[in-house]
Amino acid sequence: MVLETLLILPFVGALICYFLPSGERSRQQRPYVVAGVGIVHLGLSICSIMTCEGQSLLGGWLVLDPIGSVFILSMSTLYACCAIYAVSYLRNRPNSRNNIFCTCLNLLLGVSTLVFMAHNLGLMWVTIEATTLVTAPLIYLNRTPLSLEAVWKYLLICSAGIALALLGSFFLAYAALAGESAAHSASLSLEDLLLAAPLLSKAWLHLAFVTLLIGYGTKLGIAPLHTWKPDAYGESQGLTGALLAGGVTSCAFIAIIRVTMIMHAAGEFQFAALFLKGFGIFSILLAAMFLIRQRDFKRMLAYSSIEQMGILILGLGTGGLGTFAALFHMINNALSKGILFLAAGNIHRAFESKSLDRVRGSLRIVPWSSALFLVGFFASTGSPPFSPFLSEFTLVQSMFIGGSFVLVFSFIVFLFIAFVGMGQTVLAVTQGDAPELSAKRFRDSVGTTMPIVILAMLILVLGTYTPHFVTQHLKTAARYLETAQIGRSP
């Protein structure tokens, strides 16, 4: 019942938030429902990993495998912190109706959990498209012309990518029909595709992989498929930005992982690696270029996210130790983006601007949020002692072992450029003389800073003393990905 409750709980929370009667009392109660769902879901995620890993539901359509459990724990941790933050955040918006916002927050957690457990590529496609639909109202919360434009870009570009992913799924199913064995029928079951992988038509398999990578890569936001990100991240509030950058992108990443598993099982990983490495290093390069002299600190976070997605794809394409690094970096990205976006959201609310022309000296206005913003900057750029340093260092080590010296050199140079570019913007925001602001402007509070402190402590602990069970679970997930042993842990 633990696994079933894990899946059902967010949807029950969404129904409660939606059907609570209108009124001031219900407006105050909904954020607590969101926080309660987030905290309980995190507890259930931990229990599920400890007791239910390997179990399946709905005839094998949903399976809690080692990879899915890593993603669920990462998403649930980020969501719980964001949900706690939402209580104070929504209290400071007394004139805002929050029924749709709170409902969509719970729905996002629910459909993300389905994505991470989906073992049917058709179901995975439907649930990933659902994450697009339920996050659109979150981006539009401020109801400004710019936020409306951002929503339309997000919906149109991501939907175009999802349409390509559907076409790629059909190509993958047809690869079984056109393969060497007539005994295999077209199927989108991950188990069936992995079993039939050596017999799949190589031409159709290659075409399917490229199409799926482009399709889900659009949702992931890798370059040059990233054009929705600067607007969506720039116009959404910090809470939504954190969930987009640390949670929704993970949904697209696990879809690419599932397809890469099939390429491994078919013995075609080298073909996949060329595209993964190419998209990965190009994303890091493009993000580094746009991070230089960035005047909008929330758009800066969008380009930082593009860089991080490039690192994930590059690690997946490197294989071996790089696969472990990619999975570890996925967790680190979720935590560090939670710190950055929530802290940036507080700074934005204090200054009522995200432009460097008006935002400066934030350490004097919102000292806690600004200090945490600095912590998030150093963490996300791979500075020790934070855990992204370990995952990026592991990736460099993996590329060295593979003899990819040019790739290693390019990777380090591009990361350095990104560090300098982000540093210019972050220091401009936090340092200097603060302008005169109204006493009624937003100020730090326990409710809006404590969740960020928790995320910062987690990323520091993972960087200074990574618990043994975390390392072992990541190793198990990495081996599972590359050996494609369905139904049992390696």
Whether residue 183 is predicted with pLDDT greater than 50 in this model: the reply is no
Determine the average pLDDT of the residues in 233-247: 93
pLDDT at 53: 83
Q: Is residue 475 part of a domain?
A: yes
pLDDT value at residue 484: 62
What number is the average pLDDT over the span 104-117? 97
Flag whether 490 is in a domain: no
The pLDDT, as a whole number, for residue 271 is 96
pLDDT digits (tens, 9 = 90+) for 356-388: 988 999 999 999 999 999 999 999 999 999 999
Residue 446 is assigned to a structural domain of this protein: yes
How far apart are alpha carbons 367 and 371 in whole angstroms? 6
- The rounded distance, in Å, linking the Cα atoms of 189 and 187 is 6
Residue 271, domain extent: 2-483
- Distance, C-alpha 32 to centroid of its chain: 24
379 within domain boundaries? yes
Q: In the structure, what pLDDT confidence band is assigned to residue 93 with cuts at 50, 70 and 90? A: confident
| Residue 61 within any structural domain of the chain | yes
pLDDT at 487 over 60: no
Q: How many domains, in total, are found in the chain?
A: 1
With a CB cutoff of 8 Å and minimum separation 6, the contacts of 182 are: none
Q: Does the structure show a pLDDT above 80 at 96?
A: no
Segment 362-369 long-range contacts (CB within 8 Å, at least 24 positions apart): 362/429, 362/430, 362/434, 363/430, 363/431, 364/433, 364/434, 365/434, 365/437, 365/441, 365/443, 366/442, 366/443, 366/444, 367/444, 368/444, 368/449, 369/343, 369/444, 369/448, 369/449, 369/452
DSSP assignment letter at 61: T
What pLDDT does residue 181 have?
Answer: 52
The pTM of the full predicted model, rounded to 2 decimals, is 0.94
Segment 256-309, tens digit of pLDDT: 999 999 999 999 999 999 999 999 999 999 999 999 988 999 999 999 999 999
